[in-house]
Amino acid sequence: MTQKRVLVLVFGVFFICLGTIFIHGVADAAFDEKIIVDNIEKRYAGAGFSAQFSQTATISAIDVADTAEGIIFVKRPGKMRWEYEKPQPQLIVTDGNTLWVYRPDEKQVMMGNAPDYFGEGKGIGFLSDIGMLKRNFVILRVDDGKSDLFRLKLLPHKPIPDMADIYIYVSKNDYYIVRITTYNQYGDETIINLHNIRLDQKLDDGMFQFVVPDETEVLQLTPNE
């Protein structure tokens, strides 16, 4: 299995493509995309946030779903730390320049160039700088107006080689991003639910660095593999 395929299974290297455009529902018609995104930006205006997450990744070719849980820490701009607690410990860290994927049980760390995977909002990189939503995507509201969540589809301004779809679900009550659903180029689906969101966190930059432990195998990530 290639390194890139492994990353897709681990945490979804999510890339976006153009897809079917749905029509807005009649209800909540006044809440167009601009108003929604403006309110999201206001909500996430602080330097950082944290949240617990649950993740379900479905491999379409064999119809198998894997689940995981943990906590995420985000600091603007570009810094993220995903601490996977279940089903086994795993750490994904980026300082905006370098990406580390550490598996302590396997004594292995994979290192790569973070912008290859999260730059310009690719993947879920937009979480590390909510301003990327406006800068890098056309945003379409695609819900029917009946749910308590806004459903937004993100379309990239620039073509991305590995094409897929990405949707974000936003609470109508407080404009928290509570779910992200992505589809990669293999047709695999990844759903990430965010809860216990804590905004305006003051997070130390050291949280977004990684020192390779002794006796740990280091592998290089390359985006074209």
For residues 129 and 146, the answer to whether their CB atoms sit within 8 Å is no
Cα–Cα distances in Å, from 65 out to 15, 57, 68, 89? 20, 5, 10, 18
Confidence class for position 6, pLDDT limits 50, 70, 90: very low
H helix or E strand, kind and range, residue 29: none
For residues 152 and 36, the answer to whether their CB atoms sit within 8 Å is yes
> From its phi and psi, is residue 175 left (phi > 0), alpha (psi between -120 and 50) or beta?
left
Q: Is the pLDDT of residue 63 over 70?
A: yes
Proportion of the chain above pLDDT 90, given as a percent: 56
Distance CA 146, CA 27 (A): 7
For residues 87 and 103, the answer to whether their CB atoms sit within 8 Å is no
**Domain edges within the chain:** 12-202
pLDDT at 15: 33
Fold of the domain spanning 12-202: outer membrane lipoprotein receptor (LolB), chain A (2.50.20)
- Provide the 8-state DSSP code for 67: E
Tell me the sheet residues that pair with 84: 70, 90
Confidence class for position 24, pLDDT limits 50, 70, 90: very low
Q: How many CB atoms lie within 10 A of CB 135?
A: 11
Q: Is the pLDDT of residue 3 over 50?
A: no
Sign of CA dihedral 108, 166, 53, 199: positive
pLDDT at 136: 87
